[in-house]
Amino acid sequence: MSDDAELLERIRGGATDDFAEIVRRHQSRVFAILHRYERDGHKVEDLAQETFVKAWRALGQFDGRAPFEHWLSRIAARVALDHLRREKRRQNEIGLPELGDDALDWLRSDDEKDELNALGAAELLELAMRELSPADRVVITMQELESRSVKEIAGAIGASGVAVRVRAMRARAKLRRALEKIAKEKL
Amino acid sequence: MNDRKLKQLFAAARKETASVPSEDFAVSVLRAIRREPPAAAPAAISLFDLLNLWFPRIALAASAVIVLCLAADWGLTVAGVPGLSDGVSQLSAQWLLTPTGL
């Protein structure tokens, strides 16, 4: 089976149908990235489609110096950022997600041995991250949940490395305060 | 909320599995791509665009020529050879300002 570079060369030469193979190869990663910012499966699918269509439009700009996967991940992060900005504008129309008792108990517990399940943790983070700006949220998500480097994050949000570091530090402090607020409010 | 607890929260959230793409997802992407309008042909380049494009290079080349002339003049003066300005004066005296001149 040909690698991404060969496939992309064929696609640039007019073999549009081969793009479906590119989609199949990278869809899981794109879905995983977008799921960090949107929990509704249908919306994730729409955002993933937007990511691939944008990649298709910009294919002429992909120079092959970095792996295609990295380039595509950057597009997905930008699509997520735009989505968060749109959602932020209509945040008041959207209800807050419900939190399970397990997540709240864990949040209030002082016992460090207490463990939280993945779903509870994701819901709790989703709720707390609503207090962050879209760019702060992308920075924290990429750094803490996707273990991306500062350079990658800077490339995705169009900022310098120093700006990303400062933003990450402030965002983490905001997130901590938001979690403390949730623990108190939901009593 | 201490750092340790925050790290614990991130670690737990990292384990969450993403939603799975539908089976015909790649096909629906292809369909969306086919609906895309064809890329617009590049607009013809006007003379103004060309000048805009070339202006910095022309300015740089002109500056380089001026610097070269000045350096040559200074070099000739230092070496005791008549400078460029002397040559120009000589030319004017011999050719341009004579009754049979240009």
Interface residue B32 vs chain A (CB under 8 A): yes
- Count of domains in chain B? 2
The SS3 assignment for A148 reads: coil
Q: Are A102 and A116 in contact (CB under 8 A)?
A: yes
- Considering the domain architecture, whether residues B22 and B60 belong to the same structural domain is answered as no
The SS3 assignment for B39 reads: coil
Interface residue B37 vs chain A (CB under 8 A): no
- The per-residue pLDDT for B28 is 94
- Considering the domain architecture, whether residues B83 and B52 belong to the same structural domain is answered as yes
- Measure CB to CB from residue A119 to each of B1, B16, B27 and give the nearest one: B16
- Considering the domain architecture, whether residues B51 and B87 belong to the same structural domain is answered as yes
B12 domain-assigned: yes
Q: How many Å apart are CA A163 and CA A171, to the nearest integer? A: 12
The SS3 assignment for A40 reads: coil
- The per-residue pLDDT for A70 is 92
Q: Model confidence over A141-165: pLDDT tens digits? A: 999 999 999 999 998 888 999 999 9
Q: How many Å apart are CA A113 and CA A110, to the nearest integer? A: 9
ipTM: 0.82
Do the Cβ atoms of B10 and A175 come within 8 Å?
Answer: no
Q: Model confidence over B6-58: pLDDT tens digits? A: 999 999 999 988 888 999 999 999 999 998 775 544 455 677 777 777 888 88
Nearest CA among B10, B12, B8 for reference residue A109? B8
B42 domain-assigned: no
Nearest CA in chain A to B30: A20
- Considering the domain architecture, whether residues B52 and B85 belong to the same structural domain is answered as yes
Residues (pLDDT < 50) of chain A are 1, 94
Give the residue numbers spanning the domain of B20: 3-35
Interface residue B40 vs chain A (CB under 8 A): no
Chain A residues with CB-CB distance to B22 below 8 A: 45
Range list of H helices, A36-160: 41-57, 68-89, 101-108, 118-129, 134-140, 150-157
Range list of H helices, chain B: 3-14, 25-35, 47-78, 84-91
Tell me the percentage of chain A whose pLDDT exceeds 70.
94
State how far Cα A102 lies from the chain centre.
25
Domains contained in chain A, CATH given: 1-95 (1.10.1740.10), 97-187 (1.10.10.10)
- Considering the domain architecture, whether residues B31 and B51 belong to the same structural domain is answered as no
B101 domain-assigned: no
Q: Are A74 and A156 in contact (CB under 8 A)?
A: yes
Nearest CA in chain B to A56: B33
- Considering the domain architecture, whether residues B31 and B52 belong to the same structural domain is answered as no
Do the Cβ atoms of B33 and A121 come within 8 Å?
Answer: no
